[in-house]
Amino acid sequence: MSKKILLMVILIATLLTACGGNSESPPLVYLVSNEELIDGFQSSYCWDSAGSTLCVDTIETYFDETTYLLASAPIRFQLDTPLPDNVTISISEELFGETILSEEMPVSDFIDWSPTVAPGTYIIDVHTSWKQGDVSYWFSIVLE
């Protein structure tokens, strides 16, 4: 009887260890606007999970929507868990265009960023890094 209990304990511990830790894909990053979460466009990435690597290539970047924000207010992002090791936020006037401003940010569930740019149309790149891989999330915004 005690061998069965020992075997069950080992089996449960093994399952809990195997299920914890690595996600199958990178956690998501959202732009917060009027308390609504806006999905970013997730770029191509490779992600290590449970001893194998998943690579996803995006064919063409598209944005479901452009978000209008006040230029005088911080831009807020929400990060899913597990939180990344590093977060860098960049802004440019067009996708793959010249970077106007780029800052490494403290990692947190919520990140408020106040770029010093004039009102206008921009692309924001939130680049995130974990031990399992890196991925960028792009957002189309208009600062008014």
Q: Average of pLDDT values for 31-50?
A: 92
137 found inside a domain = yes
47-88 confidence digits (pLDDT tens): 998 889 999 988 777 777 899 999 999 999 999 999 999 999
- What is the total count of domains within the chain? 1
Model confidence at 32: pLDDT above 90: yes
Mean pLDDT of the chain: 85
Q: What is the mean pLDDT of residues 33-60?
A: 90
- Local structure of residue 27 (DSSP, 8 states): P
Number of other residues whose CB lies within 10 A of the CB of residue 17: 9
Give a yes or no: residue 6 inside a domain: no
Query: Does some domain include residue 61?
Result: yes
Tokens representing residue 72 in the block? 């005088």
Give domain status of residue 7, yes or no.
Answer: no
CATH number for position 110:
2.60.40.10
Look up the domain containing 108 and give its range. 22-143
